[in-house]
Structure 1
Amino acid sequence: MRVATKPVIRGAVWAAASLLVVLLLLVIVRLPWAGDLGIHAATIERLRHHLAAPGNPLVDADTPSPYYSPWMLLLGCLAKVTGLGTFVVLRVAALAGLGLLVTGVVHLVRTFSARRAAPPLALLCLVLLWGPAVFNWSGFPGLNSLALTIAYPSTFALGLSFHFWALLRKALRKEGGGWPVFLGLGLLWAVILLSHQFTGVVASFGGLAMMLGARPRPSRAVLVRSAGGVALGTVLLGLWPYYSFFGLFGAGGLEQIHRSLYRDLLPHFGLALVGVAALVLRFRRDRRDELVLFFLFGAVVFAAGGLSGHYSWGRVLPAVLIPAQLAAALDVFESGRAGVRRVFAGLLGAALLVGAWTQAGTLGYVVPRDALPTPVAAKYRPPWPGYKWLAQEVRYGDVVMAKTFPSRQIPAYGPYTVAPGYPDFFLPDQEQRVTAVRDYFAAGTARAERLDILRRYGVRWVVAYPGDGGLRADDPALRRVATGPRGQVLYEVVGG
């Protein structure tokens, strides 16, 4: 009976991981809209129309943007050459990102363990071992978060990161790797950093941990090749023509946005404590364990960000969680005594079940809500509706006056907005634009001043909910054109 149990458990782990992958494939068909999908769609739209000089993706301004990464450039080329719709291209991006992530996890885990069940168990830990409360953020691959960010560059970059760590770990082994291997790793490192800067920091910490924890210690020749790879990657970062990577180091204005990363840590990430316990066991066996070092690098920077008020440093949190999640999967097989392994496996299984239940609302993206059991349906949160209704009237390149939330979606269809829906480090008049939008909708602003704002930014359309403010609905300068969800109205600017 004892002999038969292991294949049954292994089969269950593979089946559960396969079901999660199938679920995410079905999510890609639906491509639920939330968060930053609008800006990534807008980036593809700009590249489709102006590949060499796309300008700002959100507002009508000739400025660089960190969203023009190598990955988005490739997607823009795909859109331009094939004529595929932007959201079709985003589905292609989602499929590629998922493929890279799954194969990357398998690739890395196999460098740590030959156990057949280790890779699928690591996938389960990566997407389920988070917390008893749902947490969604790009670069944080919880199941529900991943369902909403599967098409984002962060997913692509994270998938590449797993392959980067695996390839680096292989290159550092006794047989080592030649110059082409390490130069290729430098190129890969630069692509990750350019494609999603926060994930690039996580990838860098992971790479440093693989270097410091390598056994045997890297020879002088390997260290020289590694330095050559870093030098090549750094040169490529400096040469990237679409934005100044090193100019991002002076960027500000991100602290308040990221402050929530330091709130409710146990509800959002408490299940990963099982992995922290596994890291403790790994540390007792090996003081230079790569996953332990990876975790410590992330934990130190995360703590420093919270103590110093640099809350944007909280984006390094995947460098804390990912090594803990991987350690949880690996230590089911590696913990010393059989009794310890059984206890740990029981704790991990319970944590995974809690994580699965927490994120069960993800099923709502592929199953009609009324077909879900009531407790699961209660966890489902509908995605954003988008602005397809507006795109039927507004042409590519038109400028739309809208508040912040609509401004995060409208550029996905080709128009610009007066102010960007997200902080923009390279837009010199960002504050003036934000002030102009606020003044236009403010209750005490005179009609003449509102008309001046519309003229100043070449506004052709206004989008507003009832009660938003701005020019009156019956103002002669506006013509009501269409009505969207929840009473939102599209007005054409027809005069002054």
Structure 2
Amino acid sequence: MTPGGRSPSRWVWGLRAVAGAVAALLLAVVVRLPWVGDLGIHAATIERLRHDPLHPGDPLVDADVPSPYYSPWTVLLGCVAKATGVGAFGVLRLAAVVGLVLLLSGIWHFVRTLTECRATPPLAVLCVLFLWGPVPFEWSGFLGLNSLALTVSYPSTCALGLSFHLWAWLRKALRAGSGWLVFLGLGALWAVVLLTHQFTGVVASLGALAMLLGARPWPSRAVLLRLAAGLALGLVVLAVWPYYPFFELFGAGADLEQIHRALYRDLPGRFGLALLGVAALAVRFRRDRRDPLVLFFALGAVVFVAGGLSGHYSWGRVLPAALIPAQVAAAVEGAGVVAGVVCGDRLRRVFAGVLAVALAFGAWTQAGTLGYVLPKDALPSPLAAKYEPPWPGYRWITPWVRYGDVVMAKTFPARQIPAYGAYTVAPGYPDFFLPDEVAREDAVRRYFAPGTPRAERVEVLRRYGVRWVVAYPGDGGLRADDPALRKVGTGPRGLGLYRVVG
């Protein structure tokens, strides 16, 4: 019996029930698929692949160039869309369900290679979702509940789920001295993760390195040769992937630094609760200097700090490589008390109590996630105050704008409009393989700039074959009564849709 008088099995089933309730909440979120962040680019990617699976072109602008968004996962989704006729957002819902299953089963799988305690897997799920900080934080590849609710359909979720399975299978293969086929399969899986979401692929790589360095007993020479063969196969897969040249992405970091600078701000507010996991890692380090979770955390922390010190802020995307092992370590160390395995250890009982409080606090800070399932007026007032409405999207333009039409719009609309099949003049995101990206961005700036002559604005519309303009009244550009435009529709907050007629 545990100190509270309950049997260990009741605590385990209680944890499983809570984890199951959280999973059910995320499945309910999938039904509504709240739009915020990068959902537009992923829907646009599926649209391009649905229309031409072999030569989709740029997902955002009308240009025949490769794109890193065409990964094994999105190509599969595009083929599903083409074969079934299901729309992009319907396919994204399917992607969300599969990604969620991969993620939750991956956490379960990986944790079971670290401990046999039955309480640890459901507790690890809760730690990964709730041990963040008092300030809600949303970014793809970061697994806080609110962040996951908004990114569950993204390739990063699928890639993270596969990463957990990769680490688990690698630990088992190293321990068992598996054969060539197993390690070749692991190499191919590693390449798929890297191709699917490059930043998560770096996290997966650091985790795999930590699993190797922390393997006990140390792998034999024969096993290391099989591992090297798997690595070589993975590199070959990366090199021959036909949709984009993977290795050219290493020169694209300069375009991403300013976007990712935000990852280095307000670290205590966003990630402070994960310090409890750092304390658990310290305990594990005292027991084993080659503990794989400790090594994983150290590798991730070193790269993250190096990025901040050197100004390579895109390296901040590796932060999950420090957060995930800390969160899992907190679950492993706390689960023993919950299961009654180490109830005589007073320090661990204190740790488990603090962990319970931290999880409850973390759940409260992310309770606004309920707003993606329930209407605001159905929430209690404290939760309603946390409610953030999703973006409305641009479906209202589809009665007029057809697939392949080019739309002139500023950056924010340009991130959503391609989801419905149209192109924009300039991409709403950095586009590494688009040679005239700067010229396109300059054209959009000049079109909307206050002092640009009318003739120059009209010339920009003609040069890029623009058929529609989406703009608020105060955005600039051609006047609403200009003879080159004809207003055909009005969207949220007075946003206008104009047909280019001259």
Q: Do these two structures clear the TM 0.5 threshold for a shared fold by scoring above it?
A: yes
Q: CA deviation at 1:334?
A: 5.2
> Within 1, Cα distance between the matches of 2:372 and 2:6?
37
- Matched residue, 1:181: 182
- Matched residue, 1:30: 32
Instruction: Indicate the SS of the match to 1:330.
Output: helix
The one-letter code sitting in structure 2 at the alignment partner of 1:286 is D
Q: CA deviation at 1:185?
A: 0.1
Q: Is the 8 A contact 1:186 1:229 kept in 2?
A: yes
- Equivalent in 396, 400, 418 of residue 393 of structure 1: 400
Q: Is the 8 A contact 2:99 2:158 kept in 1?
A: yes
The one-letter code sitting in structure 1 at the alignment partner of 2:377 is D
> Within 1, Cα distance between the matches of 2:284 and 2:63?
52
> Within 2, Cα distance between the matches of 1:333 and 1:406?
47
- Matched residue, 1:450: 457
Instruction: Indicate the SS of the match to 1:469.
Output: coil
**Is 2:484 the partner of 1:482?**
no
- Equivalent in 103, 106, 128 of residue 104 of structure 1: 106
Instruction: Indicate the SS of the match to 1:491.
Output: strand
> Within 1, Cα distance between the matches of 2:30 and 2:335?
33
Q: CA deviation at 1:196?
A: 0.2
Gaps of 5+ in 2: none
Q: CA deviation at 1:33?
A: 0.4
The one-letter code sitting in structure 1 at the alignment partner of 2:6 is A
**Is 2:124 the partner of 1:117?**
no
- Matched residue, 1:75: 77
Q: CA deviation at 1:401?
A: 0.1
> Within 2, Cα distance between the matches of 1:466 and 1:338?
67
> Within 2, Cα distance between the matches of 1:287 and 1:334?
21
- Number of equivalent positions: 494
Gaps of 5+ in 1: none
Q: Is the 8 A contact 1:479 1:493 kept in 2?
A: yes
Q: CA deviation at 1:340?
A: 1.5
C-alpha offsets along residues 286-308 of structure 1, whole Å, 9 cap, x if unaligned?
00000000000000000000000
> Within 2, Cα distance between the matches of 1:106 and 1:49?
37
**Is 2:243 the partner of 1:242?**
yes
- Matched residue, 1:312: 314
Q: CA deviation at 1:163?
A: 0.3
**Is 2:202 the partner of 1:198?**
no
Q: CA deviation at 1:18?
A: 0.7
- Matched residue, 2:23: 21
- Matched residue, 2:257: 255
> Within 1, Cα distance between the matches of 2:426 and 2:323?
35
Q: CA deviation at 1:11?
A: 2.7
> Within 2, Cα distance between the matches of 1:220 and 1:378?
59
Identity %: 71
Q: Is the 8 A contact 2:489 2:498 kept in 1?
A: yes
Q: Is the 8 A contact 2:119 2:336 kept in 1?
A: no
The one-letter code sitting in structure 2 at the alignment partner of 1:381 is E
- Matched residue, 1:462: 469
- Matched residue, 2:274: 272
Instruction: Indicate the SS of the match to 1:112.
Output: coil
The one-letter code sitting in structure 2 at the alignment partner of 1:187 is A
- Matched residue, 2:386: 379
The one-letter code sitting in structure 1 at the alignment partner of 2:486 is R
Moved more, 368-377 or 332-341: 332-341
Q: CA deviation at 1:5?
A: 4.8
> Within 2, Cα distance between the matches of 1:265 and 1:456?
45
> Within 1, Cα distance between the matches of 2:202 and 2:299?
11
Q: Is the 8 A contact 1:38 1:408 kept in 2?
A: yes
- Matched residue, 2:43: 41
Q: CA deviation at 1:9?
A: 2.7
Q: CA deviation at 1:14?
A: 1.3
Instruction: Indicate the SS of the match to 1:211.
Output: helix
Q: CA deviation at 1:366?
A: 0.6
**Is 2:258 the partner of 1:224?**
no
**Is 2:367 the partner of 1:360?**
yes
**Is 2:430 the partner of 1:423?**
yes
C-alpha offsets along residues 305-327 of structure 1, whole Å, 9 cap, x if unaligned?
00000000000000000000000
The one-letter code sitting in structure 1 at the alignment partner of 2:462 is R
- Matched residue, 2:418: 411
Q: CA deviation at 1:13?
A: 1.3
> Within 2, Cα distance between the matches of 1:275 and 1:334?
15
C-alpha offsets along residues 245-269 of structure 1, whole Å, 9 cap, x if unaligned?
0000011210000000000000000
C-alpha offsets along residues 5-63 of structure 1, whole Å, 9 cap, x if unaligned?
53343232111111100000000000000111000000000000011100000000000
C-alpha offsets along residues 163-195 of structure 1, whole Å, 9 cap, x if unaligned?
00000000010x221000000000000000000
> Within 1, Cα distance between the matches of 2:394 and 2:334?
47
- Matched residue, 2:171: 169
> Within 2, Cα distance between the matches of 1:9 and 1:27?
27
Counterparts in 2 of 1:49-64, with a 5 A limit? Answer: 49-64=51-66
The one-letter code sitting in structure 1 at the alignment partner of 2:191 is A
Name segments (4+ residues, structure 1) moved above 4 Å. Answer: 334-337
Instruction: Indicate the SS of the match to 2:468.
Output: strand
- Matched residue, 1:281: 283
Q: Is the 8 A contact 2:425 2:466 kept in 1?
A: yes
> Within 2, Cα distance between the matches of 1:188 and 1:468?
46
> Within 2, Cα distance between the matches of 1:66 and 1:236?
15
Q: CA deviation at 1:464?
A: 0.2
Instruction: Indicate the SS of the match to 1:462.
Output: strand
- Matched residue, 1:127: 129
The one-letter code sitting in structure 1 at the alignment partner of 2:467 is R
> Within 2, Cα distance between the matches of 1:195 and 1:455?
36
- Matched residue, 1:154: 156
Change (3 A) 1:183 1:355: same
The one-letter code sitting in structure 1 at the alignment partner of 2:404 is G
Instruction: Indicate the SS of the match to 1:482.
Output: strand
- Equivalent in 357, 378, 389 of residue 350 of structure 1: 357
Instruction: Indicate the SS of the match to 1:481.
Output: strand
Q: Is the 8 A contact 1:299 1:317 kept in 2?
A: yes
Q: CA deviation at 1:392?
A: 1.7
Q: Is the 8 A contact 1:461 1:490 kept in 2?
A: yes
Instruction: Indicate the SS of the match to 2:407.
Output: strand
Instruction: Indicate the SS of the match to 2:360.
Output: helix
C-alpha offsets along residues 113-160 of structure 1, whole Å, 9 cap, x if unaligned?
111111000000001100000000000010000000000000000000
Q: Is the 8 A contact 1:55 1:61 kept in 2?
A: yes
> Within 1, Cα distance between the matches of 2:89 and 2:114?
38
Q: Is the 8 A contact 1:333 1:341 kept in 2?
A: no
Instruction: Indicate the SS of the match to 2:498.
Output: strand
